[in-house]
């Protein structure tokens, strides 16, 4: 008992309560990035030549012999005809020089744009539209590709047919297939396709056919594989003539767009703003796979009055950042913009086509030709 009393008598007072400060709430985790939208369906890749034809370690004459075998076997062509034709092909150093310095590799947008957005090219496009309104609008109605974009492609590629190229296509493809290792698989494949094309379109004379330094032909500058795969007989006369026959040219350019995913009545691009302080975003490619909310989160928004996709939940855009005449320019490229880049992979090319088409449309309407 005494022990208990002693224990009670000597007990220390309880400690004073200590205020507990609540830990600050952790910030909410960032929202996960929006998933990319599906890719635009594309046709199968065009065939390229095998290594036996394109490996620079193999002697040139051996590669040429392998090319003859490859082309003859793949496209069922008489090998002697291939040999006889190649014997008349000529290496051209000017072609190598031209392909290693394309204009847009050294020009910013402010300079590239001025090549195509000139009074002469715009007025020429308006006149071309007016002179060919009936077949153009017929193709537009059949395909959903506006006539002004068909005209703009011809305007950018060949100045409405005035400059379709001065190189023999045979020389261009021969030179690039056997003396430009970086892209030999593609160009040797195109050289083989040229022989197949001549088999299908016997009106084409391989020894006389003229085109660009890359081997593109006609008013729309189709490569041999594009000619074979996507050219159309626009007036059903039994042949596809993309050199000068406009019904075939118009139908073929429109078909190229359709095959690569053109969306009738869909927007092409929108001029955009970038929020102050936001970093520029450079997508990995030109696929219109970025959801618009994701681009808005990065600071990119269409300017007021600019077009947007009909269904932003399923249709996205890519971003194009360019050096314009008045400073940086920001653009959202939609599905149809991407389709134009399938004609030429350059983002500046596609924007030039769009702006030229818009100017032609406005001018043609004011001249009484309703696009």
Active site residues: 157
The C-alpha atoms of residue 88 and residue 100 are separated, in whole angstroms, by 25
The C-alpha atoms of residue 250 and residue 347 are separated, in whole angstroms, by 23
The C-alpha atoms of residue 289 and residue 283 are separated, in whole angstroms, by 9
244 neighbors 161 (Cβ within 8 angstroms): yes
The C-alpha atoms of residue 353 and residue 356 are separated, in whole angstroms, by 5
Instruction: Provide CB contacts within 8 A for 290, sequence distance 6+.
Output: 36, 37, 283, 316, 317, 318, 319
Token code pair at residue 331: 């653009």
Q: Are strands 269-274 and 327-333 parallel, antiparallel or unpaired?
A: antiparallel
Nearest to 288 by CA among 42, 41, 43, 37: 37
Which residue has tokens 């880049």? 341
What stretch of H or E contains 271? strand 269-274
The secondary structure of the chain in percent helix, strand, coil, rounded to multiples of 5, reads: 50, 10, 45
How many Cβ atoms sit within 10 Å of the Cβ of residue 327? 8
Instruction: Provide CB contacts within 8 A for 152, sequence distance 6+.
Output: 125, 353, 354, 356, 357, 360
Nearest to 229 by CA among 271, 201, 268: 201
Which residue has tokens 């020429």? 124
Angle between helical axes of 60-75 and 169-179 (0-180°, round to 10):
120
Nearest to 342 by CA among 265, 255, 272, 249: 255
* Burial (0-12, 13-18, 19+ Cβ within 10 Å), 320: buried
Distance between alpha carbon 160 and the CA centroid of its chain, in Å?
20
């Amino acid at each position: 008992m005494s022990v208990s009393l002693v224990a009670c008598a000597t007990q220390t007072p309880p400690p004073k309560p200590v205020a507990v400060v609540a830990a600050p709430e952790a910030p909410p985790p960032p929202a996960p990035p929006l998933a990319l939208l599906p890719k635009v369906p594309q046709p199968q890749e065009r065939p390229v030549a095998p290594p036996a034809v394109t490996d620079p370690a193999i002697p040139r004459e051996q590669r040429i012999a392998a090319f003859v075998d490859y082309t003859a076997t793949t496209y069922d062509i008489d090998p002697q005809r291939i040999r006889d034709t190649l014997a008349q092909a000529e290496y051209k150093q000017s072609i190598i020089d031209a392909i290693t310095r394309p204009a847009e590799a050294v020009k910013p947008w402010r300079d590239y744009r001025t090549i195509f957005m000139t009074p002469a090219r715009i007025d020429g496009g308006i006149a071309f539209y007016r002179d060919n309104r009936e077949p153009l609008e017929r193709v537009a109605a059949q395909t959903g590709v506006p006539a002004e974009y068909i005209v703009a492609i011809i305007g950018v590629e060949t100045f409405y047919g005035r400059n379709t190229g001065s190189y023999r296509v045979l020389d261009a493809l021969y030179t690039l297939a056997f003396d430009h290792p970086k892209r030999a698989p593609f160009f040797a494949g195109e050289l083989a396709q040229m022989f197949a094309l001549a088999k299908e379109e016997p009106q084409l004379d391989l020894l006389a056919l003229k085109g660009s330094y890359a081997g593109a032909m006609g008013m729309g500058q189709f490569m041999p594989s594009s000619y074979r795969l996507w050219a159309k007989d626009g007036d059903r006369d039994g042949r596809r003539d993309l050199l000068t026959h406009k019904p075939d040219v118009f139908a073929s350019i429109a078909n190229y767009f359709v095959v690569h995913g053109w969306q009738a009545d869909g927007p092409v691009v929108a001029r955009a703003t970038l929020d102050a302080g936001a970093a520029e975003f450079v997508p990995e490619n030109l696929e219109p796979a970025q959801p618009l909310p994701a681009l808005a989160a990065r600071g990119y928004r269409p300017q007021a009055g600019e077009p947007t996709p009909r269904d932003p939940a399923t249709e996205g855009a890519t971003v194009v950042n360019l050096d314009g005449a008045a400073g940086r320019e920001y653009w959202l490229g939609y599905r149809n913009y991407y389709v134009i880049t399938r004609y030429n992979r350059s983002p500046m090319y596609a924007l030039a086509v769009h702006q030229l088409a818009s100017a032609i449309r406005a001018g043609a309407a004011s001249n009484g030709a309703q696009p």
